[in-house]
Amino acid sequence: MKKFYYLLVAACFWSGISQAQEELNLEKAIQLGLENNFDVKIAIENIDITEFDKKIGVGDFFMPQLDATYTRNYGSEDVEQTFLNDPEPRVIDGAKSQTENFTLAAIYGFRPESFVVMKRLGQLNEISELDAKVVVENSVADISSAYYRLVLEQQRYEVLERTLELSQSRLDISQAQYELGSAGRRDFLTAEVDYYSDLTLLRAQEQVIQNTKVDLNQLLALEPDTEFVVNDTILIGEDLNLMELQENAFLENKQLLIIQRQENVAYLQEKELRAQRLPTLNLNGSYNNNTFNSDAGFLVQNQRQGFNYGGNITLNLFSGLTLNRRIQSAKVQRKITDYALDQYEVQLSSDIQRAFNTYETNKALLEIEQKNYAVAKENTELALERFRLGISSYLEFRDAQVNLLSAENRLITSIFNIKEQEIELLRLSGKIYFSNSFEPIEEVLGN
């Protein structure tokens, strides 16, 4: 059964302003962030680049190259010709000549590594998609944490407001007792000092809230001074299971999937280089249409048209051991990616374990803080009544008041810490969602 712990935002925060501001819930914040965040936009554009590379690769390796050439040349020369059957030379001034040529040539070369290259480009395209999903997941996690941080800071503002109300009550009682002569001026002045100290904390918290809003606006790619009202709750779901988180992480963690694809790319690069030792097949064909006209010479006009075709097989016999060195380098790179995969698997397990330990600790602390808050609240109410009746000192009341402030702050902070670790665990396990309707991250990229 789900446990619900609520942090309600102060409805009267900066009275008069909240009604004019737009309400922002977590789902809307995440949608705005995914629409506006520049890191997300860049990541999605990078997917298009690898898609183009993949399509270009298909054209380079499996489509022939076709070129059409048309040329036309003109000439004007002074010609003097002597023929065997005519001893008198023939002189032509300004003899005109014209050449017209049209050629359509096709070349197709098949290299054995073509299929390997296409697989490698496909893997690189998958890596770019996973990179984009990593950016989206991180953005969702960052926005969620910033959103709940704002809820937490505004809840702290409410705590300080209630503390200030208690200080105001104590100040009123001290002033009345002083005016009636039942208490000294020192008690009244001490109550006034404590009141202004609490008022200073409240004003400082307003600045914290403004800066927290700026941080959230930055993640949403909005203007820093954009105002909105957060009116939401912090929802803690069902208890997370460590084994399930680890299993999901090794199946769906996007960074792990990226490193696995990089390992495949390294293997394909080595395979691609080895395939270059095999012979390549080149086919060629052309159509020519050539026309020659001249005022001088034996031929007044010569026109030729027809097809030419052929092919060759090429086998590299020696290239200065360059290919061998590249293959050896690819082997080393493949080992590096193997080590990187093993290293990240260990890191991922450790990150999940650390986050889960913190998650469990904060859940245990929450139960303690709830009990502590209930005791501190009752003690403060009793201390206030005793102070009102004049049977306790201001020190006793102030001590109870400070204890209540501390207890309430620890309570709401423990709730926030549980939620923050929950977000981190879901991110690491690849199960983070971008809306309250539980739509998966892949929907953002249309996959």
pLDDT at 18: 39
Q: What is the pLDDT of residue 302?
A: 73
Mean pLDDT of the chain: 80
**What's the confidence (pLDDT) of residue 298?**
62
pLDDT digits (tens, 9 = 90+) for 303-342: 788 888 888 888 878 777 888 888 899 899 999 999 999 9
Helix%, strand%, coil% for the chain, nearest 5: 65, 20, 20
Collect contacts of 2-6 with beta carbons under 8 A, ≥24 apart.
2/236, 2/237, 2/238, 3/236, 4/233, 4/235, 4/236, 5/234, 5/235, 5/236, 5/366, 5/415, 6/233, 6/234
pLDDT at 62: 61
pLDDT at 179 over 60: yes
pLDDT tops 50 at residue 14: no
Q: How confident is the model at residue 273 (pLDDT cuts 50, 70, 90)?
A: confident
Region 422-438: what's the mean pLDDT? Answer: 74
With a pLDDT cut of 90, the percent of the chain lying above it is: 27
H or E segment to which residue 364 belongs: helix 322-389
Taking the C-alpha atoms of residue 139 and residue 144, their distance in angstroms, rounded to an integer, is 8
Quote the pLDDT of residue 59. 53
Residues contacting residue 305 through CB under 8 Å, at least 6 positions apart: 287, 288, 289, 290
Q: Write the pLDDT tens digit of every residue in 122-141.
A: 888 888 889 888 999 999 99
CATH of the domain at 113: 1.20.1600.10
Reported as a pLDDT band with limits 50, 70 and 90, residue 439 is very low
Specify the pLDDT at position 359.
94
Question: Which pLDDT tens digit goes with each residue over 275-291?
Answer: 888 888 888 888 888 88
What pLDDT, on the 0 to 100 scale, is given for residue 288? 87
The position carrying tokens 């005016």 is: 179
Query: Which residues have C-beta within 8 Å of that of residue 318, sequence separation ≥ 6?
Result: none
pLDDT digits (tens, 9 = 90+) for 224-240: 988 888 876 777 877 89
The CA distance from 64 to 110, in Å, is: 9
d(CA 363, CA 429): 20
**Confidence band for 402, pLDDT divided at 50, 70 and 90:** confident
CB contact at 8 A, 130 and 445:
no
pLDDT at 355 over 90: yes
Q: How far apart are CA 104 and CA 441, in angstroms?
A: 51
> Which of 52-56, 187-191, 410-414 ranks highest by mean pLDDT?
410-414
Q: Is the pLDDT of residue 4 over 50?
A: no
Torsion, Cα 121 125 128 132, to 10 degrees, reads: 180
- CA 183 – CA 388 distance, rounded (Å): 12
**Whole-number pLDDT of residue 3:** 31
Separation CA 303–CA 99 (nearest Å): 10
pLDDT of 421 over the 90 cut: yes
Q: What pLDDT does 56 receive?
A: 62
What is the domain range of residue 338?
3-445
What's the confidence (pLDDT) of residue 17?
36
Q: Quick check: 85 pLDDT over 80?
A: no
Distance (Å, rounded) from C-alpha 145 to C-alpha 425?
13
Number of domains in the chain: 1
Q: Phi and psi for 286 in degrees, rounded to 5?
A: -150, 155
User: What residue type is assigned to position 30 of the chain?
Assistant: I
